[in-house]
Every structure is written in C-alpha cells, then in structure tokens.
Amino acid sequence: MSRSEDRIREALISRRVIRVVFKGPRGRDVTLWFFHGVERDYFMLPYSFCTCHDYLINVASRRSKTMCYHLASLKRAIEAGAYRDIRTDPSTAREILLEVIVSGASPTLRKLL
C-alpha cells in the first residue's frame, strides 16, 4: 500500500472528514464538508475544491495531480459512510466556515467534535 493510501486509511479510521448540516433559508438541508487535521482544518467541495496549499499549488495551479489528500479522503469517506456528522444552526455553520477560511482552523468545530 502506498503512503498516500495509508494516510487516507488513517483519515477514515480517525473520522477526520466532517459533514456539517444545517437548515437553509427554504428549510432544506445544506451540507458543508471539512477535514479536521491535527493543526489545521480545511473546507472542501466534493471532487472539486479544498482550501489546503497542496490543492491550490499542485491541483489548481500546476495541474500535476487531480486531487489532494483531503479530497481523496473525502471521496473515500463518502463512499464508505466514514465521516462524522454534525447538525447545527446556520450561524454556527457560518462561523465554522469563516474560521476555517480566515485562520485555517475552527475552534467552534473542534468544540463540537
């Protein structure tokens, strides 16, 4: 097994992929995906975007890979149902998203875990 496969497997076992669900303005569920790292957290759009440096440099800019480790972990977590679920209100979900984007880690998300 490759090192990246080992890292993905460890991420699934540790449940590092987090699904945050809240009710949108029309009463429908809205889902946000996050990767809970040791020091940093990342926001992800399935199969298409991650806030990590590897994604921005190697996937989006250089196009030397199709996805970063976090997106690969998200893909496998969705397929296996191996993620943590958090249901919250819209303002808490917005706070988590802003914390991750602005500072790279969300104290709010970490408290909810």
Q: How many domains does the chain have?
A: 1
Structural domain that includes position 103? 3-112
Residue 35 parent element (H or E): strand 29-36
Mean pLDDT of 79-91: 97
Q: Give me the amino acid identity at 51.
A: T
Asked if residues 84 and 73 have their Cβ atoms less than 8 Å apart, the reply is: no
pLDDT-based confidence at 4, cuts 50/70/90? confident
Strand partners, 22: 30
pTM score: 0.94
Between CA 71 and CA 56, with CA 85 as vertex, the angle to 5 degrees is 20
For residue 1, pLDDT over 70 is answered with: no
